[in-house]
């Protein structure tokens, strides 16, 4: 009789532990999930669905930097449809490669007609990539 009681206690403890771990994993997954969209896809969605999103596109030529040097406000254009654009407001340190025409990834949320970015990254320019000749074993 005592072994059945012990087994029941261990089973209940295991179920509580497994339930707690499952709950933590589930909440961590859904809190950290973000949409990965290009600009035209983001514009097609309602702002409520862009509470946590990662957008990619090309920085326009209207980059405005504040006097303190942190952040920028600019237009992010779609790679395939340059006429599709969204205004991005970012407050933070800018990458050295951030300039007009740079491919940019921003992560944040949609405010009132402006995407509020918490993270801004630029894609490495092609000058850092190997040329086709170097990849085939011959130097350029």
Cβ-based neighbour number of residue 124 at 10 Å: 12
Provide the phi-psi class of 104: left if phi over 0, else alpha when psi is between -120 and 50, else beta: beta
- pLDDT for 50 equals 80
Question: What is residue 115's predicted lDDT score, i.e. its pLDDT?
Answer: 93
The pLDDT, as a whole number, for residue 22 is 84
- Parse the chain into domains and list their residue ranges: 1-33, 34-124
pLDDT of residue 103: 93
Q: Where are the beta strands (DSSP E) in the chain?
A: 35-38, 53-59, 72-77, 85-90, 103-110, 114-122
Give me the pLDDT at residue 128, please.
47
The CATH code for residues 34-124 is 2.40.50.140
pTM: 0.65
Q: Are 133 and 139 in contact (CB under 8 A)?
A: yes
Token couple for 94: 């800018």
CA distance 115 to 106: 9
Splitting the chain (140 residues) into consecutive groups of 10 residues, what average pLDDT does each group show?
A: 78 89 75 73 84 90 89 94 93 90 92 91 65 47
């Amino acid at each position: 009789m005592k072994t059945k009681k012990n087994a029941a206690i261990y089973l209940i403890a295991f179920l509580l532990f497994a339930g707690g771990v499952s709950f933590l994993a589930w909440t961590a997954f859904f809190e950290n999930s973000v949409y990965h969209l290009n600009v035209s896809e983001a514009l097609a969605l309602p702002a409520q669905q862009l509470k946590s999103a990662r957008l990619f596109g090309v920085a326009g030529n209207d980059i405005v930097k504040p006097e303190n040097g942190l952040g920028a406000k600019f237009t992010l254009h779609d790679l395939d449809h340059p006429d599709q654009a969204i205004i991005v407001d970012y407050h933070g340190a800018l990458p050295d490669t951030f300039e007009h025409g740079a491919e940019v990834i921003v992560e944040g949320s949609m405010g009132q007609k402006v995407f509020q970015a918490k993270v801004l990254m630029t894609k490495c320019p092609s000058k850092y990539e190997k040329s086709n000749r170097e990849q085939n074993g011959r130097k350029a």
